[in-house]
A and B are shown apart, each in its own frame.
Chain A
Amino acid sequence: MFVFILRRLSQTALVLLVTSLLVFAGLFVIGDPVEILISPEADQIERERARVALGLDKPGWMQYLLFVKNAASGDLGKSFVYGRPALEVIFERMPATLELATVAMLISIFVGIPLGLYAGLKPDSRIAKGIMAISIVGFSLPTFWVGLMLIMLFAVQLGWLPSTGRGPTTEFLGMQLSIVHWDGLKYALLPGINLALFKLSLIIRLTRAQVRENVLLDYMRFARAKGLRKSRVLGVHLLKNIMIPLVTVIGLELGSVIAFAIVTESIFAWPGMGKLVIDSIFQLDRPVVVAYLMITVLMFVFINLVIDILYSILDPRVRLTAAKN
Chain B
Amino acid sequence: MTTSPLSTQLVDETPWRQFVRDFMQSRIAVCGLALLLMVLLLALFAPWIAPQNPYDLSKLDLMDSKLAPGSKSMMGSIFLLGTDGMGRDMLSAILYGLRVSLLVGVVSGVIALAIGASLGVSAAFFGGRYEQILMRIVDIQLGFPAILVALILIAVLGSGVEKVIIALITVQWAYYARTARSAALVERNKEYMEAARGLGLPTWRVLLKHLIPNTLPPLIVVGTVQVAHAIALEATLSFLGLGLPITEPSLGLLISNGYEFMLSGKYWISVYPGVALLLTIVAINLVGDQLRDVLNPRLAR
**Interface residues, chain A, with chain B CB atoms under 8 Å away:** 11, 15, 19, 22-23, 25-27, 30, 140-145, 148-149, 151-152, 155-156, 163, 255-256, 259-260, 262-263, 266-267, 277-278, 281-282, 289, 293, 296-297, 300-301, 304, 325
Binary CB contact string for chain B from 76 to 113 against chain A (1 if under 8 A, 0 otherwise): 00000000000000000000000000000000000000
State how many angstroms separate the Cβ of A19 from the closest Cβ of chain B. Answer: 7
User: With an 8 A cutoff between CB atoms, is B282 at the interface?
Assistant: yes
B262 touches A145 (CB 8 A): no
Cα–Cα, bound, A255→B259 (Å): 28
B285 touches A140 (CB 8 A): yes
A140 touches B228 (CB 8 A): yes
Contact of B262 among A23, A152, A255 (CB under 8 A): A152
Q: Please, which residue of chain A has its CB at the minimum distance from the CB of B259?
A: A148
B151 touches A262 (CB 8 A): yes
User: With an 8 A cutoff between CB atoms, is B270 at the interface?
Assistant: yes
**A23, A148, A256, A297 — which one has the most chain B CB atoms within 10 A of its CB?**
A148
Cα–Cα, bound, A30→B236 (Å): 25
Cα–Cα, bound, A140→B285 (Å): 8
Tell me which residues across on chain B come within 8 A of A278, comparing CB atoms: 240-242
**With A15-B140, A144-B239 known to touch, is A22 a contact of B156 (CB < 8 Å)?**
yes
State how many angstroms separate the Cβ of B123 from the closest Cβ of chain A. Answer: 13
**Which chain B residues (116-155) contact chain A, with CB distance < 8 Å?**
132, 135-136, 140, 143-145, 147-148, 151-155
**Interface-facing stretch out of B183-191, B206-214, B273-281:** B273-281
State how many angstroms separate the Cβ of A199 from the closest Cβ of chain B. Answer: 12
State how many angstroms separate the Cβ of A97 from the closest Cβ of chain B. Answer: 13
Contact of B274 among A148, A151, A259 (CB under 8 A): A148
Tell me which residues across on chain B come within 8 A of A144, comparing CB atoms: 235-236, 239-240, 252, 255
Cα–Cα, bound, A141→B281 (Å): 8
B156 touches A30 (CB 8 A): yes
User: With an 8 A cutoff between CB atoms, is B5 at the interface?
Assistant: no
A sample of 9 cross-chain residue pairs with beta-carbon separation below 8 angstroms, ordered by A number, consists of A23-B152, A140-B282, A141-B278, A142-B236, A145-B278, A260-B147, A266-B240, A293-B152, A300-B143
State how many angstroms separate the Cβ of A124 from the closest Cβ of chain B. Answer: 18
B259 touches A142 (CB 8 A): no
**Which chain B residues (201-252) contact chain A, with CB distance < 8 Å?**
228, 232, 235-236, 239-242, 252
Cα–Cα, bound, A148→B132 (Å): 44
B277 touches A145 (CB 8 A): yes
Cα–Cα, bound, A30→B255 (Å): 31
Tell me which residues across on chain B come within 8 A of A259, comparing CB atoms: 144-145, 147-148
A19 touches B151 (CB 8 A): no
**With A23-B156, A142-B235, A278-B240 known to touch, is A304 a contact of B277 (CB < 8 Å)?**
no
**Interface residues, chain B, with chain A CB atoms under 8 Å away:** 132, 135-136, 140, 143-145, 147-148, 151-158, 228, 232, 235-236, 239-242, 252, 255, 259, 262-263, 265, 267, 270-271, 274, 277-278, 281-282, 285
Cα–Cα, bound, A304→B270 (Å): 37
Tell me which residues across on chain B come within 8 A of A325, comparing CB atoms: 132, 135
Tell me which residues across on chain A come within 8 A of B143, comparing CB atoms: 300-301, 304
Q: A256-B145, A282-B241, A293-B151 are in contact. List 17 more A-B contacts (CB 8 A).
A: A25-B156, A26-B156, A141-B278, A142-B232, A143-B236, A144-B235, A144-B239, A145-B255, A145-B274, A148-B262, A260-B145, A262-B147, A263-B236, A267-B259, A281-B154, A293-B155, A296-B148
Q: Please, which residue of chain B has its CB at the minimum distance from the CB of A137?
A: B282
Tell me which residues across on chain B come within 8 A of A300, comparing CB atoms: 143-144, 148
State how many angstroms separate the Cβ of B148 from the closest Cβ of chain A. Answer: 4
What's the dominant secondary structure at chain B's contact region? helix
How many Cβ-Cβ contacts under 8 Å join chain A to chain B?
97
Q: Please, which residue of chain B has its CB at the minimum distance from the CB of A31?
A: B158
Pairs of residues from A and B, 8 with the lowest C-beta to C-beta distance, nearest first = A26-B156, A256-B145, A259-B148, A142-B232, A259-B145, A144-B239, A145-B274, A140-B285
Cα–Cα, bound, A141→B145 (Å): 17
Q: Please, which residue of chain A has its CB at the minimum distance from the CB of B156?
A: A26
Cα–Cα, bound, A296→B155 (Å): 14
Tell me which residues across on chain A come within 8 A of B281, comparing CB atoms: 140-142
A23 touches B155 (CB 8 A): yes
State how many angstroms separate the Cβ of B102 from the closest Cβ of chain A. Answer: 15
State how many angstroms separate the Cβ of B259 from the closest Cβ of chain A. Answer: 7
**B145, B255, B267 — which one has the most chain A CB atoms within 10 A of its CB?**
B145
Contact of A263 among B157, B240, B285 (CB under 8 A): B240
Q: Please, which residue of chain B has its CB at the minimum distance from the CB of A145?
A: B274
Q: Please, which residue of chain A has its CB at the minimum distance from the CB of B137?
A: A18
Q: Please, which residue of chain B has its CB at the minimum distance from the CB of A286?
A: B155
B236 touches A22 (CB 8 A): no
Tell me which residues across on chain A come within 8 A of B156, comparing CB atoms: 22-23, 25-27, 30
Tell me which residues across on chain A come within 8 A of B278, comparing CB atoms: 141, 145
State how many angstroms separate the Cβ of A218 from the closest Cβ of chain B. Answer: 24
Cα–Cα, bound, A163→B263 (Å): 9
A148 touches B242 (CB 8 A): no
Tell me which residues across on chain B come within 8 A of A148, comparing CB atoms: 255, 259, 262, 270, 274
Q: Please, which residue of chain B has its CB at the minimum distance from the CB of A282?
A: B241
**A22, A142, A151 — which one has the most chain B CB atoms within 10 A of its CB?**
A142
Contact of A156 among B151, B154, B157, B263 (CB under 8 A): B263
A156 touches B265 (CB 8 A): yes
Cα–Cα, bound, A152→B267 (Å): 8
Cα–Cα, bound, A148→B277 (Å): 14
Tell me which residues across on chain B come within 8 A of A11, comparing CB atoms: 136, 140
